[in-house]
Amino acid sequence: MSGAEFLLWMRGPGISFAALFFIAGVVLRLIEILMLGRTKNLAELRGSGSTAGMRTIATRFLPADANTFRRSLPTIVLGYLFHIGLFVVIFLLTPHIKLFQSVFHIGWPGLPTPVVDFFTVVALVSMLGLLWRRVSNRLLRFLSTGEDYLSWAVTFMPLLTGYLSYHHLLLPYSWMLGIHILSVALLLVIFPFTKLMHSFTLFIARYYNGAIAGEKGVQQ
Amino acid sequence: MTQPSLEKGVNILREQIDGPVAAFFSSCVHCGMCAEACLFYTETGDPKYTPIHKLEPMRRLWEREFTFAGRIKKWLGLAPPISDEELEQWQPVVYDSCTLCGRCSMVCPVGNDITYMIRRMREGMAASGNAPQGLIGATTRAVKLGSPMGVKLATLEAQARHVKISTGLDVPFDEEGAEYMVVLSSMEVVNYPEYLEAITRIFHEAGKRWTISTEAFEATNSGIQIGVSDIAAELVGRIVAAAEKLQVKTVITPECGHAYTALRWEGPNLIGRPFLFKVRHILEVLDDLREQGLLQTSGMENDRITFHDPCQLVRRGGVVDPPRNLLNMVSNNFVEMEDHGTMNWCCGAGGGVSANEAADEIRLKAFKRKKAQLESLEVETLVTACANCRIQLEEGIEENEMEIPVVGITEMLAAHLVEHPSSDEGEQP
Ligand code: SF4
Ligand code: SF4
């Protein structure tokens, strides 16, 4: 198989299959959660749970207060850098936007490639920092499971291979791009069965947390 | 309590897994931020006290039975079932080192309400026979004697006689149609009778009709702390029956954190229907009286004072402003701790920890957090609104050779109460 054939296959059936698997998996997981529901609160409520729930979805993007921020400083800073970098790379790189456009028929303006390139480096470096903390910090090492490392690896690979292919490093371009798409496919397939699901479920979690507190009149 | 067994425990734990629990477990990214919010971790540095880790057996049950991948793992024999040994091993982290304070739930970036889950996990622990002895004892006394500390009506009546002697006022028992029915915590009756005297005088001045039921005067609820909803419901049911019999408008819970949560927030859900009366914390009632001008005080405390927020009242209960409004009424030197209000640090003794001897050592270790807060403030008096916090604060302060008196808000207010000669009984001045 030539590099061009490999790339063609990955671009076509390879990634399509992975994407379908991803969608089915995510929907299944969300149904598993939402089906369980929450029993109605019979106490005399002090505030609207749904309003507070929606509010908490937004407020939890920021740390609770300055002292919380201080206490978990490296985790929070690296976490932000990584997530911002990842977001920019996925959604603001022009070739990615073109791909979304071909599937969903909606597009949006991207950032100049060198800027995205910079954010890729930010994401990669902060991910290395997060991994370093996971293995070196006593608390994080204790909490970490195989799944944490697996999730890290399948997220890191697309970033790395994307970076390498853009800079024409290591392998011929078509091979590297093919491997990049392969790594994305792997990410998509593994996604629904790991903590990567938090990208979707955190909205449900925050909503419930905020609603439970808001019904008691506690604002978060 | 019925005969516990592993099977019962697992069945009950399974029933506890609802949408929020599934969303929370699905979302955890193992970032460790909840640990930094938990005083049992910050004061020991031991990662096993990480809040989300306290739930590992429950998380495994959820994964095994409520997720697609987990069911496959279970089928392949890769997800062993929960064992008695495992639950027993988790007892110290689920009970001894969690006060259900709710601080972890405030900081989790994905929004997990970890405390909500620990409260639920205890249901499975208790049903499987893995609750601590101290809590089992307190719960048994609460069911049989009506009080976790075994305080009897006669003790309360004796306190009422003392109130009569020192104030000339009657503590009204079993008065039908009163506006308020007051419930008390055993700790208050035994250790802080000042409270009873304070409310007697305050309600008298406010011209409010109130009463105490001889059938249900205990406000605390061990069933909630140990995690047996049936018992919690029975204890709540006693108060509900008494309040409905006396046809009171409002039941007032005392200076106790979990009693408020038990009656105000869990109560109706435990008995499966809304109450026919309102439930208010004494601080909410006092704050209302203040607003209506029915609580008049004179003079100011000049001591530098601060307020320790009882977790169940403030962070988990939503009574945030009343204590502050009330303190500002009688103090011109009230300062806040660095982390206060909904972000306050627990005293270390809530959630049944104080009733559990196995937790004695870690409880006093956890107090170091409060100690650090107090030391940085250099206050002369510490005010709180929970008898359980107060005992822990007093013990911790003594243990650490500090000298800070601890006072309840209600009695502090009563000390400044403007009193009118009681010749025209019940009439408003
Ligand atoms: S803070 Fe939340 S996401 Fe982080 S480890 Fe704790 S429960 Fe998990
Ligand atoms: S509720 Fe409080 S004591 Fe319990 S785990 Fe959370 S922070 Fe720690």
- Collapse the DSSP code of B214 into the 3-class scheme (helix H, G, I; strand E, B; otherwise coil) and give the result: coil
Burial label for A65, CB within 10 Å (0-12, 13-18, 19+), is middle
Q: How many residues does the structure list for chain A?
A: 220
List ligand 1's pocket residues with C-beta within 6 A. B 28-34, 52, 108, 110, 112, 114
CB-ligand 2 contact for B93 (6 Å cutoff): no
Query: Would you state the pLDDT for residue B21?
Result: 98
Q: How far is the CA of B105 from the centre of ligand 1 (A)?
A: 9
pLDDT tens-digit readout, B261-292: 999 999 999 999 999 999 999 999 999 999 99
CB-ligand 2 contact for B270 (6 Å cutoff): no
Based on the structure, what is the number of domains in chain A?
Answer: 1
CATH of the domain at A168: 1.20.950.20
Tokens of A149: 């490392």
Establish if A24 belongs to a structural domain. yes
Closest CA to B304 of B394, B254, B415, B379: B379
Query: Would you state the pLDDT for residue B144?
Result: 86
Cβ within 8 Å, pair B36-A39: no
Burial label for A168, CB within 10 Å (0-12, 13-18, 19+), is exposed
Cβ within 8 Å, pair B23-A205: yes
Beta bridge partners of B279: B251
- Intervals of chain A under pLDDT 70: none
Range of the domain at A193: 3-36+65-215
**Range B6-131: architecture per CATH:** Orthogonal Bundle (1.10)
CA A57, distance to chain mean position in Å, is: 16
pLDDT tens-digit readout, A133-187: 999 999 999 999 999 999 999 999 999 999 999 999 989 988 999 999 999 999 9
Cβ within 8 Å, pair A208-B47: no
Which residues on B lie below 8 Å from A220 (Cβ)? 106, 342
pLDDT tens-digit readout, B337-360: 999 999 999 999 999 999 899 999
* Ligand 1 atom having least distance to the Cα of B52: 7
Q: In the structure, what pLDDT confidence band is assigned to residue B422 with cuts at 50, 70 and 90?
A: low
The reply to whether domains B6-131 and B145-291 share a CATH topology is no
Query: Would you state the pLDDT for residue A9?
Result: 85
Place of tokens 């996990």: B121
Query: Would you state the pLDDT for residue B1?
Result: 53
Q: Is the pLDDT of residue B423 over 80?
A: no
Q: Which residues in chain B (310-339) have CB-CB distances under 8 A to chain A?
A: 315-318, 320, 338-339
Establish if A125 belongs to a structural domain. yes
CB-ligand 2 contact for B114 (6 Å cutoff): yes
pLDDT tens-digit readout, B392-411: 999 999 999 999 999 999 99
Q: Is the pLDDT of residue B427 over 70?
A: no
pLDDT tens-digit readout, B155-183: 999 999 999 999 999 999 999 999 999 99
Fold (CATH) for B145-291:
Glutathione S-transferase Yfyf (Class Pi); Chain A, domain 2 (1.20.1050)
Q: Is the pLDDT of residue B424 over 70?
A: no
Tokens of B258: 């979990």
Query: Would you state the pLDDT for residue B426?
Result: 45
Tokens of A68: 């919380």
Q: What is the CATH number of domain B305-415?
A: 3.40.50
Query: Would you state the pLDDT for residue B151?
Result: 83
Query: Would you state the pLDDT for residue A11?
Result: 85
For atom 8 of ligand 2, the residue with the nearest CA is B38
Residue ranges per domain, chain B?
A: 6-131, 145-291, 305-415
Q: In the structure, what pLDDT confidence band is assigned to residue B152 with cuts at 50, 70 and 90?
A: confident
Q: What is the spatial distance between Cα B350 and Cα B357, in angstroms, rounded to a whole number? A: 13
- Collapse the DSSP code of B212 into the 3-class scheme (helix H, G, I; strand E, B; otherwise coil) and give the result: strand
